[in-house]
Chain A
Amino acid sequence: MEQKTKIAAEEDKQELVITRAFDLPVALLFKAYTIPEIVEEWMGTKVMTLENKRHGSYAFETTDPLGNVHKFNGVIHEFCPNERITRTFEIENSPLAVQLEFLEFESVSYATSKLTMHIVYKSVAFRNQMLKMGMPRGISMAHDRLQVAALKYN
């Protein structure tokens, strides 16, 4: 079965591309990014600010199970309804640098659409760090050590 969400992350590049096919008309897909209550629901975060316009800003806040508050923010550079959002994304109080995101919304048919998320990081190392954040902790640690093992074989 073909995967609905795909990730292209070329080695030694400071970017990655996430693509996803949706069984939704493009207008509905776009709304999922612009209506605060809906963003809150699928992103699992609180939306503090969301200004859907050129030079607008946004701020999210998430409380983890331990009660720690994590803050995220960014500035919207370009906003074309049902077509494109260009924005920055930053995790506050994090060693990770701000990233640039190009979101392209495409209509495939009246009932289906496609999202392409092109993310550019400050460096290859920052990108790889971000990729590892999706990993459960135990796996992440084993992964680090196996990476060292793999280097020996190079």
Chain B
Amino acid sequence: MKLRRDVFQAIADPTRRAILLLLAAQSMTAGAIASNFDTARPTVSKHLQILLECELLQQEQQSREIYYHLNPNKIKEIADYIEPFRKMWDERFDKLETIMKKYASKE
């Protein structure tokens, strides 16, 4: 399967962050997770799908119910995630590059 989304994109959404924090305490079924939100159940399902796709969550069948829990390895990846810091510098340096190209053409 092609990985469509990166981890950072997944945690950029407030609802998805809230889901991760809920599941940090215990595994839960989709229904139990949805009951914590005012949003419609299909919306919560979509968020769960995205979190599954980027492997932040895992599913586990327990008797007739499917439980969601955090994928510890992926969570660790976020824990030392430096992407926002990198982006900040990347944007600064992009600006520097643009400014100096204009500067060079004026000289």
Binding site for B on A (CB under 8 A): 3-7, 9, 11, 18, 20, 22-24, 28-29, 31-32, 38, 41-43, 115, 130-136, 138-139, 142-143, 145-150, 152-153
Chain A at the B interface: mostly helix, strand, loop or mixed?
Answer: helix
| 8 A-B contacts (beta carbon < 8 Å) | A3-B86, A5-B89, A23-B97, A24-B100, A28-B100, A42-B92, A139-B11, A150-B78
Nearest-Cβ distance from residue B52 to partner chain A, whole angstroms: 17
Binding site for A on B (CB under 8 A): 11-12, 14, 17, 20-21, 24, 70, 72, 75-76, 78-82, 84-90, 92-97, 99-101, 103-104
Given contacts A3-B90, A22-B93, A150-B76, is CB(A38)–CB(B82) below 8 Å? no
Residues in A with CB closer than 8 Å to B80 are: 9, 11
Check if B88 sits within 8 Å of A134, measured CB to CB: yes
Residues in A with CB closer than 8 Å to B12 are: 139
